[in-house]
Amino acid sequence: MRIYVDADACPVVKIVEKVASEYKIPVTLLCDTSHILKSEYSDICVISTGSDAVDIALINKCKKGDIIVTQDYGVAALALGKKAFAIHQSGKIFTNDNIDGLLMDRHFAKKSRLSKSKHHLKGPKKRTKTDDINFEASFRKLVSNVI
């Protein structure tokens, strides 16, 4: 088993590494060339810049039983299709039971953004310490269930 992190602007890398090191699980951080990552624990895989290049590389690398950390519902869906596990940086664990609804929500949100209406969607809330605590608790639960 390995943990793969869609690490472009991912706020939970340090938490992932902390928990992974406790369980002695290898971690690979994937990012594009516009990001600079350093880690004493994880392998870093830098992918050339391109539309969805990191996402495609991550899915090509992951295998059954791996854990994927991503905020991208499409990546999560593809990981679940490969019998990997996926978790959002909020701590939400993606499952076969919730992924279709999340993908549908993403579709409707995109349609709303592209429409010319005056109803604009707000961006995500600023990340808090509570968000980190919730992510770590969910991530620990996922890891302990997978091992």
d(CA 40, CA 35): 17
pLDDT at 141: 97
Give pLDDT tens digits for 55-93.
Answer: 999 999 999 999 999 999 999 999 999 999 999 999 999
Handedness of CA 35, 40, 41, 45 (dihedral sign): positive
pLDDT at 113: 64
Q: pTM for this structure? A: 0.86
The token duo for 68 is: 């994927």
d(CA 35, CA 92): 25
Per-residue pLDDT tens listing for the chain (147 residues) = 999 999 988 999 999 999 999 999 999 999 998 888 999 999 999 998 888 899 999 999 999 999 999 999 999 999 999 999 999 999 999 999 988 767 777 656 666 666 665 555 566 678 999 999 999 999 999 999 999
Enclosing H/E stretch for 6 = strand 3-6
d(CA 139, CA 147): 12
Report how many helices (DSSP H) and strands (DSSP E) the chain contains, helices first.
5, 6
The token duo for 24 is: 């002695």
Give the chain's domains with CATH numbers.
3-110+126-146 (3.40.50)
pLDDT at 91: 96
Read off φ and ψ for residue 28, nearest 5 degrees: -120, 125
